[in-house]
Every structure is written in C-alpha cells, then in structure tokens.
A and B are shown apart, each in its own frame.
Chain A
Amino acid sequence: MIASSLVIGQRNPVYSVLLLIASFGALSGLYIQLDAPFVAVIQIIIYAGAIMVLFLFVVMLLNAPQEDAAEWDRAHPLRRPGIARFGAILAVLLVVQLLWALTDASDLSGPASQVGDDGSIRTLGRILFTDYMFAFEATSILILVAMVGAVVLAGRSDQR
C-alpha cells in the first residue's frame, strides 16, 4: 500500500513503474491469503511481467522522464495551489467516505464461509470453460481487436 501511494508521488515515471511492480507483488500476497493462488500467479505474470515491461518500454522509448513544466503549464488555472489543495481535500474526503461506508457495514466482518469450491485451478478452469464460455470467446476477440488497434495506432503513418 505504501508502494502504491508512492507511485503517484514520483515525478520520474520509471520509479513509478518499479514501485507499481512492488505494489502488485504485495497484492498477489493478499490473493494468496485469500486462497486464490491462480489469481496471484497471473497477477505476477501478466501485470508485473507483461504490462509493466510494456510501460517501461514506452517510458524509455519516449525518453521524457521528467514531467515538463512549461510556462503555460505554470499559468494553467488548475495549477494554482488553492485549487490543488481543493483537489487533495476531495481525495481525502473520498477515502473518509469509503471508510465510513465500509465500517458501517459491520455485518460483513464474519469469517469466510467454505462452500464446496476451493480456489484450485481445476475448479476455475472447469467453470471458465462451461459457464463463462461466451465471455471467454468474447475476450479472445477483444484481445485480437486490441492487438490490431495497437499496431495501427503506433505504426508509422508517413510510410503510406
């Protein structure tokens, strides 16, 4: 949690990405505590392995590590300290409101129930390929569309 709060505090995006990997590692530890080893493993593989490498690649490719502070940026109305302080107060209010709502739901604090299914990969795969078959196939279409879209968007347009 500390790592992910440090993520948005960094001016250099490389440090943000590395801290986010630490935060995802902590989250996968929480998943293991929740008897979800499959989710923990794909958290590490997909997020820390694939997505963060993609982010690091783009950060290093674009070669703009520091946030640029142009003079029109300084003069932007949203950069005045009073409005920034107002935004920070709004964020703190969001945290307080969520915590208040969660502590109010005190009947949820019972122990976790164990009904039949464990979080094993066998059970997960059986349900994934029977009950969620259509969603699974739609996900494959989504990945294909995203891949084509990424190639089209990032491709050089001056070769046409």
Chain B
Amino acid sequence: MIPLNAYLIVSAVLFAIGTAGVFMRRNVITILLSIEIMLNAVNLTFVAFGRWLGTVDGQIIVFFVMTVAAAEAAVGLALVIALFRHRESLNPDAFTSLKW
C-alpha cells in the first residue's frame, strides 16, 4: 500500500512543474498546458485525500474540476485563436495593449 505522503509529494512536484511552466515558457498554448498540469496535480490530491478519508466526495470534486478545466480550455483556446488572428504571434509579451 502506497502511503498518502507519496501521492501528496507527486502532486506537489506536478504543481511545481506546472508553475514553472507558466512562468518560464513564452508560448500561450504551452502556458495553458501548464495550467492543465496544475489542475491535474490538485485532482490527484483530491483523490488521494478522498481515498484516505474513505469518502467519494473527492472524486466528485474532481469531476467538477475536470468540467471547469474543459470549459477553461475551450474558452482559452478560442482566445488564443482570436489573439493570433490579430497579432500573428503566440508570445504573451506581444499582447501588451488592451485595444488595437
């Protein structure tokens, strides 16, 4: 039986990887992927704690988090398409003005 700590450590490392990806990459799509990594790290924490506490509430929260992640990915990618159509770039440093 793998202890709870192992899952929490894996989740923490995944979250740190996602955070580093958000801050280090210069590509909007890669930043969105890093956000997905962070959401999955939190999902892993939910499921591990739910298993540890013996309830299924963690899995239900994971269901809602996945739904929100899907909605966020759809809207985020639509924003990326709209921005790319205007600026011909995927670099977030190019999107510094609020209107054009």
Is B29 a contact of A13 with CB atoms below 8 Å? yes
Is A115 a contact of B26 with CB atoms below 8 Å? no
Which chain B residues in 63-77 approach chain A with CB under 8 Å?
Answer: 63-64, 66-75, 77
Which chain A residues in 75-122 approach chain B with CB under 8 Å?
Answer: 76, 78, 84, 87-88, 91, 94-95, 98-99, 102-103, 105-106, 108-117, 119
Interface string of A50-88 (1 = CB under 8 A from B): 110011001101101001101001001010000010011
Q: How far is the CA of A154 from the CA of B86 in the complex (A)?
A: 12
Q: How many residues of chain B have a CB within 8 Å of chain A?
A: 69
Q: How far is the CA of A10 from the CA of B26 in the complex (A)?
A: 11
With A102-B12, A113-B52 as given contacts, are A8 and B26 in contact (CB-CB < 8 Å)? Answer: no
Q: Which residues of A contact B (CB under 8 A)?
A: 1, 4-5, 7-8, 10, 13, 16-17, 20, 23-24, 27, 30-31, 33-36, 38-39, 42-43, 46-47, 50-51, 54-55, 58-59, 61-62, 64, 67-68, 70, 73, 76, 78, 84, 87-88, 91, 94-95, 98-99, 102-103, 105-106, 108-117, 119, 123-124, 127-128, 132, 135, 139, 142-143, 145-147, 149-154
B63 / chain A contacts, CB cutoff of 8 Å: 39, 42, 124, 128
Question: Chain B CB within 10 Å — which of A54, A58, A124 has the most?
Answer: A58
Ordered by A's residue number, 11 sampled pairs between the chains whose C-beta atoms are within 8 Å are A8-B17, A8-B33, A27-B43, A43-B43, A51-B73, A62-B80, A67-B27, A88-B24, A95-B16, A102-B9, A142-B67
